[in-house]
Amino acid sequence: MPHVNMKHFPSLTNEQRDELSNMFINAISYVVKCPKDFISVAFEPIEPEKWMSDIYPNEILGKKQFTHTFPNYNPNDEIL
């Protein structure tokens, strides 16, 4: 614990994933006061055309009780 799962468009490079992972781990370790070795990070690529049909309704709106920061777009926006 803790575990972070970031859903993103497939365009992230391995270098970007490495940098994000390090940033997540450092920030979480600092704030939560847990060893870095206890933190896991997953990256889940989602095709852009599936974002509004799968992620937005199911992960963002469907789990409002867990979503801490909401995006500033709506299903009718062009986000690609």
* Domains located in the chain, CATH noted: 3-45 (3.30.429.10), 48-80 (no CATH)
Mean pLDDT of 41-48: 97
> Residue 4 above 70 pLDDT?
yes
Whole-prediction pTM value? 0.85
**pLDDT at site 1:** 86
Q: Where are the beta strands (DSSP E) in 1-80?
A: 3-8, 40-45
Contacts of 36 (CB under 8 A, 6+ apart): 25, 26, 29
**Phi/psi at 47 (nearest 5 deg)?**
-65, 140
Q: Are 6 and 42 in contact (CB under 8 A)?
A: yes
